[in-house]
Amino acid sequence: MMSPLEVPQITPEEFADRLKTDSPLVILDVREPAELHAAAIKDRRVFNLPMSQLAAIWGGEIPAAIQDRQTEIIVLCHHGERSSQMTAFLKRQGWKNVRNLTGGIDAYALQVDPSVGIYR
């Protein structure tokens, strides 16, 4: 199993720079639907796949947004723990260009963009 130190990371500042580009990218938000209302990144490339629904969704078919294992994927959650697990899972399944947002959406809001919102 991949340790948190081995999970590829992207800092909130690096993530902000990626958001400014129009290049192909999937922002995979693994938070639960109720969390999305409290804090959100407004970008057309955000795709929500709650961790609680992963087994059911994955059992049927890989979501179209992430089918290409070469796609750049940045995974996020509230504080970066669930997204770290998802990043490690995707890496083990063969995705090549996937990174975890260090500190999650909370760190992004605190360090880069307060308009995103924070919650506890």
For residue 1, what pLDDT band results from cuts at 50, 70 and 90? low
Q: Is the pTM for the entire model greater than 0.85?
A: yes
Q: Is 77 a catalytic residue?
A: yes
Q: What is the pLDDT of residue 61?
A: 77
Q: Which of 10, 27, 77, 109 is catalytic?
A: 77
Domains in the chain and their CATH numbers?
Answer: 9-116 (3.40.250.10)
Higher pLDDT, 102 or 63: 102
Task: Please tell me the distance from the alpha carbon of residue 100 to that of residue 116, in angstroms, as a whole number.
Answer: 18
Q: What is the pLDDT of residue 57?
A: 66
- pLDDT of 14 strictly over 60: yes
| pLDDT (mean) for 4-21 | 91
- Give one word for 79, left, alpha or beta, with left for phi > 0 and alpha for psi -120 to 50: alpha
The CA distances from residue 45 to 2, 4, 19, 62, 72, in Å, are 27, 25, 9, 17, 11
